[in-house]
Chain A
C-alpha cells in the first residue's frame, strides 16, 4: 500500500485512526471520532478531501479526440476547451466498464480521471492513432475542495481564475506559486472544485488552503462524510451501485448505460465507439436506477414498537437491501445498493436498481430493526435528492 502525497498532513489530523484503502493508497475514512462535523463542513462551509488515488491520464496529440470518441459512449466533439464532461465507457458487449470525467485542456489535449486503471484500455484502442497517453496518477495529487465556501477560499488563496469558472468548467490556476489544473466539479453535489497539483508540492497547497480556510470553517473531510454527500447528490459509486463489467461474472452484475441513467450520454448515430453495435442491437434494458425515499414514520414506528429510539443511519450503508412489490415480501423487484439518512434533507434516502417494467410509484424495502427483518414503504423519486442552486450559480 502507498501513502498519498497528503499522508503526512493526514497523520496528525486523523484523530479517529480510521483509515481505509483506496486503489492501493491509505486514506482517512474520517478525521474526527464522528464524521458528522465533516459532513456539515461540506454542506455549510467547506471540506478538503484527498482524492489522489484517482487514476489520472493525459491524452494529447492530433488524434486525441478521435481516441476518446472511440472509447466513450459520449460524443466529445463539441467539448470546448476549459469544459469538463462526465463520461462512461463500455466493453464490446455494451456493458459499462467505468465512469469518470474528462476535461479539455487545449486543442489537442485532454485530462481524464477515473476510478479504475484505464491506461491499457486506451492504449489498446489507440493503435495507428497519432496520440500520446501519459499516466500521471503518481506525479499528480488530487484534492477536492467542496462546499458553499469553497469558491471564497480558493479566491482568497489567490486562485483568481476560478471566479469566472462555470459549473463543469476547468482552467489552470495558481496558488502560492503552485500551478495546477482545476475544475468546478466534484462528488458531493455542492459547489466545489477538484484540483490536480504536482505531487511534490501538493502538501504546500494543502497547507495554504487549510490556513486560508480556517477563516471559513474549512475542515479536512474523509470518505465517510463524502459517501453521505454523494448519495444525496445521486452520484453512483463503482463497486457499490454498479460494477466494472470486466471484473464480475454474471450478466446480472453488469449494466448497460441505460440501466444506470447514463442514457443521455449515449449517441448511437456517430462514428463507431466501443460497444456501439452491441448497444444498437441490444434488447430492452432490464433495469432502472432510481432514488428511494424510505418512509421514516414507518421506520421509526418499527423501532418504537420495540421500545427503542429510532437509530439513524447517519453513516451511509453500502450493502444490498431487497425491494419487494408487496409487504409479504413474496415478489422481489429490485435492490437498494446504498442508503443514508440525509441530514440536510431530513429524509432517509437510498439509491436502488429496480425492474424497468415495475409500474408503481412505491415499493417495499427490507430493513432490519434490532434482529428482525421488516418491510417499509419507499417512494420512487429521482436520484438527484440534493441539488442546491449554489452548485451552478455564478460565484462572483
Chain B
C-alpha cells in the first residue's frame, strides 16, 4: 500500500460520499472504504427481491442541500428527485384527509372535519415555512461552537439568525422550542384527526411521544425541505434513495476519489493522540494524513478508536448521547395496490405519503407500549409506493411499498436480542394494522422484508437502530451534536474527523454533515 492518502473516509454513506467528493474536488487524494458491497449506507437502493428495488432504509428525500447539488453537479451524475403532491391520512370508515399541493383542494379536505382548521391551515403552513427558512440557515453552516456566557460572540452569532423574525413569529419559535408537538398544534387546530399526522412528524426516529416536550421543534424540519430550490415537502429519488448516494459517489470519483466496497475498517490507528491510519478486517493497514469517519460518534470513538485513547469526560459525554432507535421498516413487494376503505380505488392519493395516524390518542398509545419495552400493537406507519411514479423499480404492473413503522424500541423488555424471535410477530402486527385500513392487502403481497431496529443496527451500522445516528432531539442538536466541543467535526483525537449524521446538522438525507465537515476540514469559508 504505497499510496499516501490525504484522507481516508470510513463508510460510504451519502455523507461520507459527499465529504469525499468535496475533498477530492479540492485536490486531495481521497479513499473511501465501505464495509458493505453497496454504497449509500442507509441511503441505499437494493434489489431485495428479483425485479423489486427498494429504498431499503431511508425512503424519501427532501432536505438534501441544493448547494451540494449545484456545487457537485449531482444532476449530471443521476440525481433526480420527484416531488410528492399529496399526504394522505386514511381513517377507518371515513374519507380521511389528503393534503395536496393545491391549497384550495386541501382546504376542502380539511373542511370535512373542521372549518376552523381548514381556514387556519394555510396560515399555519406560512408561519412554519417562514420559521423553517430561518432554522434552515442553521443547517447550512457549521454549528455555533457553544453558548458560552464568557464569549458573547457565539451568542450574537446565534441570535443573528433570528434577526429577521417578527415578534409574533418569535413567540411561535419559543413555543416550538419548548412545547410538545401536540401542545403546539393545539394552539392552531381543533381537530384531533388533522393534528395526528402533523404531530407524527415531530417524533420520527425519536424515542418520544407526540406529547413529549421538545417534539414541536422537530416539526420544523418538515418545513425546511427544499426540492428544486423551492421550499416544499418531500420527494422520491428516481431509482430509489440509493441513486442519491450513487450520484454522490460518481461525483467523488469524477474528482479522483477512489471508492472501495467490501472493505471493513476494524480500527483507527492512534499514536500520540493522533490518528495515522486504519486497519482493515483483513489486517491491511492504510495510512493517511487524516481519517474522516462517516460512522456514528459511538462507533467511531468507542469502537474504532477505543475508550483507552479518550479523555474521561469525552467518554462520559458519548455515553450520554442518546440513540435508542424506535422504528423499524417493512418493505413489501406487491402485485396490486392497497385499496383503502375510506377512499376506494386507485387514485392520486396513493402517489404521495400515506400516514397511518388516525388520531392523537392512537399515536400516544403507540408510544405508551414502547415506553415499557414492547413494540406498538397498533403502530404509526408511514407508507410510500414509489413505483407509482417511478416504474423502473418494480416489474410491470407490480409495486414496491415501503412502510416506516414506529414504535419499535431497540430495547425490548427482554433486551434487543429478543427482536430475533419477535421479528415475525412485528411483521404480522404491521400487516394487521394495514389490513384494518386497506383490507385485502395481504392477497397482493409477493414478498416481504421486515427490518427490526436490531436489523438496522446489524445491516447498516446504525447504533441501537437509530436512523439519525443519534436522536434528533433539541438537546442533541447544534453545539450539542454529538457533544460540547465536538460539534465542528473534529474529535479529541487529532486528524480524526467525523462527517456522519451524528454531527451537526445530522438526520435525513441532506448531505449537510458531509459537506460542512469537508469544508471545515478544508478551512473553506461557508
Q: Are B83 and A36 in contact (CB under 8 A)?
A: yes
Q: Are B397 and A215 in contact (CB under 8 A)?
A: yes
Q: Are A300 and B392 in contact (CB under 8 A)?
A: no
Q: Are A215 and B228 in contact (CB under 8 A)?
A: no
Q: Are B70 and A44 in contact (CB under 8 A)?
A: no
- B481 interface residue per 8 A CB criterion: no
* CB-CB under 8 A for A33 and B391, given A300-B229, A309-B133, A309-B230: no
**Residues from chain B with Cβ under 8 Å of A341 in the complex:** 228-229
Closest beta carbon of chain A to B163's beta carbon, Å: 11
- A134 interface residue per 8 A CB criterion: no
**Residues from chain B with Cβ under 8 Å of A296 in the complex:** 70, 229
* CB-CB under 8 A for A44 and B389, given A33-B105, A296-B70, A300-B229: yes
- A362 interface residue per 8 A CB criterion: no
How many angstroms between the C-alpha atoms of A312 and B387 in the bound complex?
27
Q: Are A345 and B75 in contact (CB under 8 A)?
A: yes
How many angstroms between the C-alpha atoms of A44 and B100 in the bound complex?
21
Point out the residue from A33, A40, A152, A346 that lies within 8 Å of B70, measured CB to CB: A346
How many angstroms between the C-alpha atoms of A189 and B133 in the bound complex?
35
Point out the residue from B228, B238, B348, B392 that lies within 8 Å of A312, measured CB to CB: B228
Q: Are A34 and B85 in contact (CB under 8 A)?
A: yes
How many angstroms between the C-alpha atoms of A152 and B395 in the bound complex?
11
- A248 interface residue per 8 A CB criterion: no
Q: B55-96: which residues lie under 8 A (CB-CB) from chain A?
A: 66, 69-70, 75, 79-80, 82-83, 85
How many angstroms between the C-alpha atoms of A27 and B486 in the bound complex?
60
- A307 interface residue per 8 A CB criterion: yes
- A43 interface residue per 8 A CB criterion: yes
Q: Are B164 and A36 in contact (CB under 8 A)?
A: no
How many angstroms between the C-alpha atoms of A37 and B388 in the bound complex?
11
- A149 interface residue per 8 A CB criterion: yes
Point out the residue from A32, A33, A297, A344 that lies within 8 Å of B80, measured CB to CB: A344
- B102 interface residue per 8 A CB criterion: yes
Q: Are A344 and B75 in contact (CB under 8 A)?
A: yes
Point out the residue from A34, A215, A344 that lies within 8 Å of B396, measured CB to CB: A215
Q: A18-38: which residues lie under 8 A (CB-CB) from chain B?
A: 32-34, 36-37
How many angstroms between the C-alpha atoms of A274 and B105 in the bound complex?
55
Closest beta carbon of chain A to B392's beta carbon, Å: 7
Instruction: Mark each residue of chain A from 326 to 353: 1 if its CB lies under 8 Å from any CB of chain B, else 0.
Output: 0000000000000001011111000000
Q: Considering only CB atoms, which chain B residue lies closest to A310 in the complex?
A: B229
Q: Are A36 and B85 in contact (CB under 8 A)?
A: yes
How many angstroms between the C-alpha atoms of A97 and B371 in the bound complex?
75
Q: Are B390 and A44 in contact (CB under 8 A)?
A: yes
Closest beta carbon of chain A to B53's beta carbon, Å: 14
- A288 interface residue per 8 A CB criterion: no
Q: Are B388 and A346 in contact (CB under 8 A)?
A: no
**Residues from chain A with Cβ under 8 Å of B85 in the complex:** 32, 34, 36-37
Instruction: Mark each residue of chain B from 389 to 409: 1 if its CB lies under 8 Å from any CB of chain A, else 0.
Output: 111100011100000000000
Point out the residue from B69, B229, B238 that lies within 8 Å of A44, measured CB to CB: B238
**Residues from chain A with Cβ under 8 Å of B348 in the complex:** 32, 37
* CB-CB under 8 A for A40 and B82, given A34-B102, A217-B389: yes
- B129 interface residue per 8 A CB criterion: yes
**Residues from chain B with Cβ under 8 Å of A246 in the complex:** none
- B484 interface residue per 8 A CB criterion: no
Instruction: Mark each residue of chain B from 344 to 357: 1 if its CB lies under 8 Å from any CB of chain A, else 0.
Output: 00001001000000
Closest beta carbon of chain A to B36's beta carbon, Å: 27
Q: Are B229 and A149 in contact (CB under 8 A)?
A: no
Q: Considering only CB atoms, which chain A residue lies closest to B84 in the complex?
A: A37
**Residues from chain A with Cβ under 8 Å of B129 in the complex:** 309
How many residues in B have their beta carbons less than 8 Å from beta carbons of A?
32
How many angstroms between the C-alpha atoms of A346 and B71 in the bound complex?
12
* CB-CB under 8 A for A215 and B229, given A34-B102, A309-B133: no
Q: Are B391 and A149 in contact (CB under 8 A)?
A: yes
**Residues from chain B with Cβ under 8 Å of A215 in the complex:** 391, 396-398
Point out the residue from A214, A217, A312, A344 that lies within 8 Å of B390, measured CB to CB: A217
- A45 interface residue per 8 A CB criterion: yes
- A156 interface residue per 8 A CB criterion: yes
How many angstroms between the C-alpha atoms of A311 and B228 in the bound complex?
10
**Residues from chain B with Cβ under 8 Å of A98 in the complex:** none
Q: Are A214 and B397 in contact (CB under 8 A)?
A: yes
Closest beta carbon of chain B to A331's beta carbon, Å: 30
Q: Are B230 and A312 in contact (CB under 8 A)?
A: yes
Q: Considering only CB atoms, which chain B residue lies closest to A34 in the complex?
A: B101
- A314 interface residue per 8 A CB criterion: yes
Q: Are B228 and A148 in contact (CB under 8 A)?
A: no
Q: A63-100: which residues lie under 8 A (CB-CB) from chain B?
A: none
Closest beta carbon of chain B to A376's beta carbon, Å: 14
Q: Are B231 and A309 in contact (CB under 8 A)?
A: yes
Q: Are A217 and B396 in contact (CB under 8 A)?
A: no
Point out the residue from B66, B102, B105, B164 that lies within 8 Å of A346, measured CB to CB: B66
* CB-CB under 8 A for A43 and B80, given A216-B396, A344-B75: yes
Q: B384-437: which residues lie under 8 A (CB-CB) from chain A?
A: 387-392, 396-398
How many angstroms between the C-alpha atoms of A99 and B257 in the bound complex?
47
**Residues from chain B with Cβ under 8 Å of A307 in the complex:** 164
Q: Are B392 and A148 in contact (CB under 8 A)?
A: yes
How many angstroms between the C-alpha atoms of A44 and B79 in the bound complex?
12
Point out the residue from A44, A217, A309, A346 that lies within 8 Å of B75, measured CB to CB: A346
Closest beta carbon of chain A to B433's beta carbon, Å: 27
Q: Are B389 and A40 in contact (CB under 8 A)?
A: yes
**Residues from chain A with Cβ under 8 Å of B164 in the complex:** 307
Q: Are A33 and B102 in contact (CB under 8 A)?
A: yes
Residue in B85, B229, B392 whose Cβ sees the most chain A Cβ within 10 Å: B229
Instruction: Mark each residue of chain B from 205 to 240: 1 if its CB lies under 8 Å from any CB of chain A, else 0.
Output: 000000000000000000000001111000000100
Q: Considering only CB atoms, which chain B residue lies closest to A344 in the complex?
A: B80
Q: Are B229 and A216 in contact (CB under 8 A)?
A: no
Closest beta carbon of chain B to A324's beta carbon, Å: 24
Complex A-B: 6 CB contacts under 8 Å: A41-B389, A44-B82, A309-B129, A309-B230, A341-B228, A346-B228
Chain B residues engaging chain A, CB cutoff 8 angstroms = 66, 69-70, 75, 79-80, 82-83, 85, 100-102, 105, 129, 133, 164, 228-231, 238, 348, 351, 387-392, 396-398
Interface contacts beyond A36-B83, A309-B230: sample of 11 additional A-B pairs, CB < 8 Å, sorted by A: A32-B348, A33-B102, A37-B348, A37-B351, A37-B389, A214-B397, A309-B129, A310-B230, A314-B230, A344-B75, A346-B228
